[in-house]
Amino acid sequence: MDLILKATLGAGVVLILAALSKTRNYYIAGLVPLFPTFALIAHYIVGKSRSLDDLKTTIAFGMWSIIPYFVYLAALYLLVDRLRLELSLALAALAWLVAASVLVGIWVRLH
């Protein structure tokens, strides 16, 4: 049942994105993925199954996770003028993966 709820939430987000992309305010589609749907789920699960300190650590790490997302957006912004959309998206996702890996590596060393 829990998996069905998560899948339904994901499908709902996709529908909202598709609808927003067709409106006059299409750029709001860039805000929808930042709604903390999965963060709410993650924080609930960690908050129920771990200590308060563990939850606060998860929250702090989440704040730092904005950096890989920014790297993704910056890469995509620079690439879409130069490459096909699909390749731009793939390379921007790769940039996110590299930035996220660096973040995790630094986090593990410091904590």
33, 39, 44, 46: CA torsion to nearest 10: 150
Backbone phi and psi for residue 24, each to the nearest 5 degrees, phi listed first: -65, -30
pTM attached to this predicted model: 0.80
pLDDT tens-digit profile of 44-68?
999 999 999 999 999 999 999 999 9
Both structure tokens of 65: 């996770």
**Residue 99: its pLDDT value, please?**
98
CA 83 to chain centre: 23
Q: Which amino acid is at 43?
A: H
Distance CA 58, CA 78 (A): 31
**Residue 48: its pLDDT value, please?**
96
pLDDT tens-digit profile of 4-34?
987 888 888 889 889 989 999 898 888 887 8
Q: Max Cα separation, the chain?
A: 48
102 pLDDT tier (thresholds 50, 70, 90): very high
